[in-house]
């Protein structure tokens, strides 16, 4: 079943076409990687799906039934689509667990229940020992995990992850990859993952979509993508060896 | 009994303690000090109202006089023209103020007004009401309305000429209720949503927070409380005119207490009021009858405002989180300092 259908989506900023006539389908339970050079339009596509931007053309269909194009972000979240932000947005003065409780309150109005769920999510992403410190005192890696925990606390069916590994050390990245895999395998959450770390995205994804200048130039299994001439030329280039080792 | 008390969350215990203190205070004060105490608690209540919208939800209001004045005029007109008890009148005023908050909140937020621009819009709305009321017959234009004194105590008319302690108890009860509401808010979904909106609106929306709706809720709750404060003060002062009701003195006075005491903290507005309101009252009476070597300030208005200005600058520079904001930090530092001392003693002993 297609959980998400992106249909001929185009988003322009003035004369710049950030996303150009992009279409693809995301199967329930699938992990789809989204790669492409800087400025390819990956984050913009996320913003269209999550309701932060209205597309100039095209539609977003959720669960084969709902046309969610142009709905407000909070309504899209309620449908079960959660996202993280490439530039992290912690609620700085709130504690880590209070940050995550905001997400948990989407599905319950009971404060204790929200706290219980939030602590679970905080524990799950490995921030257990920092649950009660202010979010502002987290490291970059900690903030990325917080983004993840908050999104998870909304109990999503579809999770959009925008470069949750950027700025992390290789060891930290490995741990996050493991977490993301668990989110899919144990919780059955469908994933759309933007990532520049090739090794991670290749091992994590069932399929990979490649954006270039706003256009979808390829979408296929990781092994096929790694051999695709157009993709190697447009993007993988020298980073290609990374995917192979 | 102590066991039972200990199970009550900390902020509620503080609230109970505050209630006890407020019950005793009037017994210890003379006429002048009682009037200072009434003003202090009244400003603490108004500050508590502002704090919900400006502190927790982060929607800075520079025009709280709009809501205050709606309350002040509603209960007064209902009393003077229709003989309706101010107790009922203040609830009607609160409802009107909440409705006004809904309208201006919707207009402002729908058009994306944020930060300074939203603050300026609230100021403009208050000024607009002030100007309209100077022309409006039903509120007796710029002349204002006197509430006829009943000459004694009357609970139904909320006048306590013989026993001004009752004024104190009424406003003290309002403050307790206001703080109780604040504590409930901070412990529930609505309070988490308010603070999420304050910290990062986009992130809040991405987590399912209907930001427009919750910002409007914050304005409405805050507005209703401010209106009740307005009704109360006019019952105490027995006169209202456009600048008393909608003047900028109210808008500034209301936000000064939480800012000095600690924005977005439960006890900040009360702490701010305890610092500023007695100061204002003493300055005012000092200026009325200064000692001979300072006779040149006699009768000059605005000295209290100048002192407020200086305090505000000092607070903003040295303690931007306000007094209630830095106090817990200093206390923790003191405590950890002590813990370290004790630990080092233990190590020595071992
Ligand atoms: N709000 C905006 N207004 C104007 N232009 C924008 C806006 N957001 C993105 N762009 C432009 O759209 C293009 C695509 O940006 P986008 O952020 O989607 O790229 P990306 O693939 O996420 O890149 P990166 O890998 O660097 O995150 C870029 O040229 C960017 O400058
Ligand atoms: Mg991006």
pLDDT bin (cut points 50, 70, 90) of residue B291 is confident
Predicted local confidence at residue B350, as pLDDT: 43
Query: Which residues, chain by chain, have CB under 5 Å from ion ligand 2?
Result: A 43, 86
Tens digit of pLDDT for each residue in B305-327? 777 778 778 877 887 778 877 77
Beta-bridged to residue A5, according to DSSP, are A25, A61
Using the Cβ of A52 and the Cβ atoms of chain B, whether some distance falls under 8 Å is answered with yes
B90-100 pLDDT tens trace: 999 999 999 99
Average pLDDT over residues B47-66: 97
Least Cα separation, residue A86 to chain B (angstroms): 12
Phi, psi (rounded to 5 degrees) for A81: -110, 115
Highest mean pLDDT among A129-133, B283-287, B319-323: A129-133
ipTM of the complex model: 0.93
**Shortest Cα–Cα distance, B124 to chain A (Å):** 29
B206-253 pLDDT, tens digit each: 999 999 999 999 999 999 999 999 999 999 999 999 999 999 999 999
Task: Report the pLDDT value the prediction gives residue A33, as an integer from 0 to 100.
Answer: 96
Tell me how far apart the alpha carbons of residues A176 and A194 are, in angstroms, rounded to a whole number.
14
pLDDT, average across residues A219-231 = 86
- Nearest atom in ligand 1 to the alpha carbon of residue A46 is 18
What is the average pLDDT across B1-13? Answer: 80
Q: What is the mean pLDDT of chain A?
A: 92
Helix (H, G, I), strand (E, B) or coil at A156: coil
Range A122-127 average pLDDT: 95
Run of H or E including A216: strand A215-220
**CB A94 to CB B202 under 8 A?**
no
Residue nearest to atom 25 of ligand 1 (CA): A38
The confidence band for B1, taking pLDDT boundaries of 50, 70 and 90, is low
pLDDT over 80 (residue A236): no
Provide mean pLDDT across the span B156-161. 92
What is the percent of chain A with per-residue pLDDT over 90, rounded to a whole number? 81
Residue A156 Cβ inside 6 Å of ligand 1? The answer reads no
State what percent of residues in chain B have pLDDT above 70: 94
Given this model, what pLDDT does residue B347 score? 47
How far is the C-alpha of A122 from the C-alpha of A129, rounded, in Å?
9
Predicted confidence (pLDDT) at residue B329 exceeds the cutoff of 80: no
Is residue A245 very low, low, confident or very high in pLDDT (cuts 50, 70, 90)?
A: very low
A152 touches chain B (CB under 8 A): no
Residue B278: is it exposed, middle or buried by C-beta count within 10 angstroms (0-12/13-18/19+)? middle
Is the pLDDT higher at A101 or at B333?
Answer: A101
What is residue B310's predicted lDDT score, i.e. its pLDDT?
A: 81
Give, for ligand 1, the residue of A9, A10, A14, A18 to mutate: max count of ligand atoms closer than 8 Å to Cβ. Answer: A18
Higher pLDDT, B287 or B123: B123
Q: What is the pTM of this model?
A: 0.91
The residue whose CA has the least distance to atom 2 of ligand 1 is A13
pLDDT at B133: 94
Q: Is the C-beta atom of A39 inside 6 A of ligand 1?
A: yes
Q: What is the pLDDT of residues B38-55, one digit of tens each?
A: 999 999 999 999 999 999
- Contact assignment for B208 to A103 by CB distance below 8 Å: yes
Q: What is the pLDDT of residue A73?
A: 97
Residue A48 has pLDDT above 80, yes or no: yes
Are A176 and A204 a contacting pair, CB within 8 Å? no
Q: Whose CA is nearest to atom 28 of ligand 1?
A: A39
Q: Does any ligand 1 atom lie closer than 6 A to the CB of residue A43?
A: yes
3-state secondary structure of A4: strand
Do B192 and A101 make contact, defined as CB atoms within 8 angstroms?
yes
Query: Would you state the pLDDT for residue A244?
Result: 41
pLDDT band (50, 70, 90) for residue B280: confident
State the CB neighbour count (10 A cutoff) for residue A174: 14
């Amino acid at each position: 079943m297609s959980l998400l259908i992106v249909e001929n989506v185009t988003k322009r900023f003035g004369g710049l076409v950030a996303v150009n006539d992009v279409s693809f389908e995301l199967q329930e339970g699938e992990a789809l990687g989204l790669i492409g050079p800087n400025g390819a339009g990956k984050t913009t596509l996320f913003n269209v799906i999550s309701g932060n931007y209205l597309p100039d053309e095209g539609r977003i269909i959720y669960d084969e039934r709902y046309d969610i194009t142009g709905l407000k972000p909070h309504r899209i979240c309620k449908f079960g689509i959660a996202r993280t932000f490439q530039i992290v947005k912690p609620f700085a003065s709130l504690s880590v667990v209070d940050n995550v409780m905001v997400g948990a309150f989407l599905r319950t109005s009971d404060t204790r229940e929200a706290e219980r769920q939030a602590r679970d999510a905080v524990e799950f992403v490995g921030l257990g020992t920092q649950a009660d410190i202010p979010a502002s005192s987290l490291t970059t890696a900690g903030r990325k995990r917080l983004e993840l925990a908050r999104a998870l606390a909304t109990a999503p069916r579809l999770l959009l992850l925008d470069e949750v590994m950027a700025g992390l050390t290789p060891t930290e990245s490995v741990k996050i990859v493991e977490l993301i895999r668990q989110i899919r395998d144990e919780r059955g959450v469908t994933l759309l993952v933007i990532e520049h770390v090739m090794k991670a995205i290749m091992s994590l994804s069932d399929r990979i979509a490649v954006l270039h200048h706003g256009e979808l130039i390829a979408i296929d299994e990781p092994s096929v993508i790694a051999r695709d001439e157009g993709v190697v030329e447009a993007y993988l280039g020298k980073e290609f060896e990374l995917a192979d080792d | 009994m102590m066991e039972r008390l200990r199970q009550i969350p900390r902020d509620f215990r503080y609230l109970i303690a505050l209630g006890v203190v407020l019950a005793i205070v009037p017994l210890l004060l003379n006429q002048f000090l009682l009037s200072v105490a009434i003003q202090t608690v009244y400003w603490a209540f108004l500050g508590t109202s502002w704090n919900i919208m400006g502190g927790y939800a982060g929607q800075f209001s520079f025009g709280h006089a709009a809501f205050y004045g709606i309350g002040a005029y509603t209960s007064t007109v209902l009393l003077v023209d229709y003989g309706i008890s101010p107790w009922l009148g203040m609830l009607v005023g609160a409802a009107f103020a909440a409705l006004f908050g809904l309208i201006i909140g919707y207009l402002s937020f729908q058009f994306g007004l944020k930060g300074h621009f939203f603050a300026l819009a609230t100021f403009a709305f208050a000024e607009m009401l002030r100007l309209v009321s100077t022309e409006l017959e039903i509120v007796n234009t710029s002349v204002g309305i006197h509430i006829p004194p009943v000459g004694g105590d009357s609970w139904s008319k909320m006048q306590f000429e013989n026993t001004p302690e009752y004024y104190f108890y009424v406003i003290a009860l309002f403050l307790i209720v206001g703080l109780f509401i604040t504590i409930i808010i901070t412990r529930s979904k609505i309070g988490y949503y308010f603070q999420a909106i304050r910290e990062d609106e986009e992130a809040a929306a991405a987590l399912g927070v209907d930001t427009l709706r919750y910002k409007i809720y914050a304005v409405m709750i805050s507005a209703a409380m401010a209106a009740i404060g307005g009704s109360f003060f006019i019952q105490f002062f027995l006169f209202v005119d456009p600048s008393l009701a909608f003047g900028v003195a109210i808008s500034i006075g209301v936000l000064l207490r939480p800012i000095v005491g600690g924005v977005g903290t439960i006890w900040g507005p009360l702490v701010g009021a305890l610092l500023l309101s007695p100061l204002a009252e003493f300055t005012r009476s000092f200026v009325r009858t200064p000692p001979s070597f300072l006779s040149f300030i006699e009768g000059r208005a605005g000295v209290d405002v100048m002192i407020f200005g200086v305090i505000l600058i000092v607070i903003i520079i040295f303690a931007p989180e306000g007094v209630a904001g830095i106090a817990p930090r200093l206390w923790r530092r003191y405590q950890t300092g002590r813990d370290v001392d004790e630990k080092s003693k233990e190590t020595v002993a071992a």
